[in-house]
Amino acid sequence: MQELKVLTVCGAGVGTSTLLRMNIADAFKSFDLPFSVKVENTSLSRAKGTRCDLVVTFDSFADDARKFCPHVITIKNLMDKQELRDKVGAYLTEAGLI
């Protein structure tokens, strides 16, 4: 794999998804992966037309996200770095990337 493409998704695509992008990018960095990870934030409506490997979002948007992306992580506490790391780790394991 050359690059993993991750989208963080919220309603407006400007605020919460930005916070999520910053914290998720940090979580990926903690795994020291042999490929690059590109994290972008967007709104649900714009995300629909975008190819990606993983969507990180909240419960409200998870069902819609699953319609266009095979892997979806939902976050409960955006500031909980342990939750983010655990969920990223579970995804990487499940996808066979680590």
**Which residues here bind another protein, judged by CB under 8 A?**
10-16, 18-19, 22-23, 58-61, 76-80
Nearest distance in Å: CB 47, another protein = 13
User: Shortest Cβ distance from residue 19 to another protein (Å)?
Assistant: 5
Report the nearest approach of another protein to the CB of residue 80 (Å). 7
Residue by residue, DSSP assigns 5-58 as EEEEEESSSSSHHHHHHHHHHHHHHTT--SSEEEEEEEEHHHHTT---SEEEE-
Q: Is 72 helix (H, G, I), strand (E, B) or coil?
A: strand
Q: Which CB, 36 or 46, lies closer to another protein?
A: 46
Closer residue to another protein, CB minimum distance, 83 or 92: 83
Distance of CA 7 to the CA centre of its chain: 5
